[in-house]
Amino acid sequence: MTKDDLFKDKRSTVMDFDFGKDTAEVFDDMLDRSVPFYAEIQRMMGEIAGDFAVAGTNLYDLGCSTGTTFIGLDPAVAADVTFIGVDSSPDMLEKARKKLEGCGFSRPYELVCLNLDDGVPILNASVVILNLTLQFIRPLNRDRVISGIAHGLNDSGCLILVEKVLSQDSTINRLFIKHYYEFKKRNGYSELEISQKREALENVLIPYHFDENRELLLRNGFKSCDVFFRWYNFCGMVALK
């Protein structure tokens, strides 16, 4: 696993964060060191997906990046469920393809290059995953994306949504972010790295409040939703059609 040092050196200008080749090379390390309880979230998503995945249907991972989620889900989901990974980055998909081939991944799967802001055709799905993905979709497109997912899910299917979230209270929000940056420091990131990445993400990652995400789901075709994971400003939700 290549170490994430993308923001180690001082930059005169910090450009917007992107998911190109340089990011793809270090993305696995970035997630491990930047997302609290990332391995546990993956394990929990596998359990939930196993509860809802139906033989002969499709499981979608929207924003599949390097394919880590597919590898974790594989033993938890019935063998005759087809995995479909969608990502806008060809570099991420190439990394995913090599990773899946390298581990002998034998389940039927597809990797599709699409911009999620343009919408994704969801067909015969029993499970759809948005793992730290919705926050990168432009807010004006989120209703359309969620509505399309709900429309493409079969009855009794589920959406698994993991996001950074904002608190309604500004004091609590600042504290949660402070503790998150302390977590990143414990995992070896410097103040400079944290600061420059924050600046790079400022116009790219746009989190909602928890209630905004809940309302987004309920007004676009989901009958119920609940939290399965929470750590400060990170939240995992499952929504049922």
- Encode pLDDT of 122-145 as tens digits: 999 999 999 999 999 999 999 999
The number of domains in the chain is 1
Residue 83 lies in a domain: yes
Query: Tokens 């059609």 appear where?
Result: 241
How distant, in Å, are the alpha carbons of 61, 145, 146, 152, 205 from that of 139?
20, 10, 11, 21, 10
- Beta strand 153-166 with 208-209: parallel, antiparallel or unpaired? parallel
pLDDT, tens digit (0-9, with 9 covering 90-100), for 58-79:
999 999 999 999 999 999 999 9
Which amino acid is present at 233?
A: N
Which amino acid is present at 156?
A: S
Residue 184 lies in a domain: no
| pLDDT for the residue numbered 1 | 82
Residue 181 lies in a domain: no
Residue 9 lies in a domain: no
Residue 236 lies in a domain: yes
| pLDDT for the residue numbered 195 | 97
Residue 160 lies in a domain: yes
- Residues of the chain with pLDDT below 50 are none
| pLDDT for the residue numbered 31 | 97
* Domain extent for 109: 21-167+206-240
| pLDDT for the residue numbered 109 | 97
| pLDDT for the residue numbered 117 | 95
Residue 96 lies in a domain: yes
